[in-house]
Structure 1
Amino acid sequence: MSIPVDLAALGEALARHDVAYLLTSGDGRPHVTQVVPRLVDGALVLAEPGRTARRVVGQHPAVSLLLPPRDTGGHTLIVDGEGALADDGALRVTPSHAVLHRASFVTGTVPGGHDSGCGNDCRPVG
């Protein structure tokens, strides 16, 4: 499920997660690295995106950030966007969509048995 990002709500959602992973594609396979995102002027800035991300994002700018929940049973924050390298080597991700997601097996809900319409226990950000 993709929901347009409400940047004010994205900042609040980011504050509820301690760990973030950057997902990139390129070099013939996906790549995941742990990062620390900061919300700056509506974009997520990753000061240390990793060597692979720096190498592939120019040709494959579509990226995702996955932020698992702090607590068992919490929502995972997933942010999709377009990445671009800054002159200082940081990766600036302009968000296009975000969702708080929790699989139905975590809560015991029946797929489709809730208001979100995404087949799981998802909530739009914002």
Structure 2
Amino acid sequence: MFARLSAKAIVLAAGIALVFFGVGLIGLGIATSLEPFVGAAWADAIAGALFLLPPLIWAIAVISARPARPAPQADAGARQIMAAIIAALAKETPWIAVVGAGLAGVANLFLARNKNRK
């Protein structure tokens, strides 16, 4: 099992390396072919733009094509969440345990406030 997992990890790493260096070498080739016409700096900028703009345009198109989120209801919010928490506590947890935990937390805060931290 460990051997199969290791083999898959090695194949995945090799694939990622091939994609990384392949894209880099394609960009280098484009920049090198454009260099006699526009100079080194502009060739690098054009090659970078060729790799940057298509995914950027795709991402903008996907984000703008999403449907709008529904407007939140006026009565939704913190009150409903607190009501749900209190209802869950009332159903599931004994109140003495909740009060005891709260008192223990408050006592811990008061007892630990003046101690030096080392």
The answer to whether TM tops 0.5 is: no
Give the TM-score normalised by the residue count of structure 2.
Answer: 0.15
TM-score when scaled to structure 1?
A: 0.15
Q: Which has the higher helix share?
A: 2
More strand by share: 1
**Larger relative CO (CA 8 A, sep 6+): 1 or 2?**
1
Kindly name which structure, 1 or 2, has the bigger radius of gyration based on alpha carbons.
Answer: 2
